[in-house]
Amino acid sequence: MPPNALEIEDRALGDAGVILPRVALGCGNFGGVGSSPAFFGQGLSEDEAFALMDAAWELGLHHFDTADAYGGGRSETAIGKWIAARGVRPTLTTKTYNPMDEGADFGLAPERIERQLTSSLERLGVDRVDLYLAHEFDPGVPLDESMDAFEAQLGAGRIRAYGVSNFDASQLDAALRVGRPLAVQNSYSLMHSEDEVELLPLCHARGVAYLAFSPLAGGWLTGKYRSGETFPAGSRMSQRPEPYEGFNNERTFRVLDRLTEIAAARRVSMAGLALAWLLADERVTQIVIGPGRPEHLEPAREALATELTPAEHERLGELFS
């Protein structure tokens, strides 16, 4: 292990034999901005993605999270090329649901799940992925048919475990009735904690791993957005602001100012403190960070070195309640 590598706690994913580190590298900005066709070909270039993966691997982040539609396949392709070039094998999460191009098909029909997994394996250059997720709930396909399709891929040895993403509590409960999803990956942060009410308790009760994406709320918890100032070029608020528009108000900026003060008193960045808040919650199995540059990995280092007491964790959560 490199001398500067982080000590990252591992968690077992049910009985699948898959080990998930509590921090994963999110690769949604490789060759695009998430699954939006309007941004395919943008985001990080292949060289930039390689530099980020190199830095993450050196730091001890050995789990990469992607999706077939990230960058219209460019994210998986970049990861596959990096694996081949570096001769190492991170554990991998990928997902399917979204279209691979404007107007292309989407969803969780069994034949599409099989087809998309085949293409993901080809782009990644591997014979199986460790965790395969339904990227959205599909109201147009009976859930038992989709879960059976995931089970078939599990039985074929092409995936080691499966789960869901962007599912609410009722949808996850329904999936658990007809399948064996071992994980759910949803947006969760100090600023977006709706899953606290129903989904996290359900995961805890049913032994489902909870994976948090967008742990810095699209950059809002980094301090990059300032009241009355133009959003920085290349930021989520300048590219895909829709998921975060509700944060753009004076109350948010007042609370963020207070969070900045608390972080300064702890000698940690706002982003580092926000990630530490997530890691202090034992119900959160993994956080998926999506840095744009190698230096953006620093908050993960800070978070892993920052311990919060239960009282401190509760007070931080109350700031945004």
The answer to whether 266 and 299 are in contact (CB under 8 A) is no
Catalytic residue status for 70: yes
From 163, 132, 136, 113, select the one nearest 34 (Cα to Cα): 136
Which stretches of the chain are DSSP H helices? 46-59, 74-86, 110-124, 143-155, 169-178, 199-206, 236-239, 250-265, 270-279, 298-304, 310-319
- How would DSSP label each residue in 21-75? ESEEEE-TTBSSSTT-GGGTT-SB-HHHHHHHHHHHHHHT--EEE--TTGGGGHH
Cα separation of 157 and 215, whole Å? Answer: 31
Catalytic member of 70, 132, 210, 244: 70
Phi/psi-derived region of residue 97, left when phi > 0, alpha when psi is between -120 and 50, beta in every other case: left
Give bridge partners of residue 186 from the DSSP assignment. Answer: 212
The answer to whether 160 and 18 are in contact (CB under 8 A) is yes
Cα separation of 162 and 147, whole Å? Answer: 9
Q: Return the active site residues.
A: 70
